[in-house]
């Protein structure tokens, strides 16, 4: 079940956050899935694309009180921050 959706600033990629803790990224122009980021535990609460100088990054927050930064060029998690006050519901 998809619970969160985000478009990249260039409108090329669409990210979907699922109830089973996956962050899936699709290339809208070409019509296929490009990434499947796994690392959260529980529901994905928020997604946002952040363009960088050398790459495109995606930020996600989960029901596990963790914010993760994913590098779409390297295809991996590059940072994670865990909070103790509750889940992050907006960026």
**Tens digits of residue pLDDT in 15-31:** 999 999 999 999 999 99
Question: Taking the domains of the chain in order of start, what are their residue ranges?
Answer: 2-82
pLDDT recorded at residue 11:
86
Question: What is residue 5's three-state secondary structure?
Answer: strand
What are φ and ψ of residue 72, in 5° steps?
A: -75, -25
The CATH code that applies to domain 2-82 is 2.40.10.480
Mean pLDDT of 3-10: 91
| Residues 44, 60 contacting (CB under 8 angstroms) | yes
Tell me the per-residue pLDDT of 38-85, one tens digit each, with 9 for 90 and over. 999 989 999 999 876 666 899 999 999 999 999 999 999 999 998 767
pLDDT recorded at residue 87:
67
């Amino acid at each position: 079940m998809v619970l969160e959706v985000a478009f990249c600033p260039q409108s090329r990629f669409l990210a979907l956050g699922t109830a089973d803790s996956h962050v899936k990224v699709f290339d809208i122009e070409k019509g296929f899935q490009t990434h499947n980021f796994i690392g959260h535990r529980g529901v994905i609460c928020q997604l946002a694309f952040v363009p960088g100088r050398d790459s495109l990054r995606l930020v996600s927050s989960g029901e596990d009180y963790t914010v993760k930064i994913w590098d779409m060029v390297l295809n991996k998690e590059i940072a994670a921050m865990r909070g103790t006050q509750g889940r992050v519901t907006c960026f």
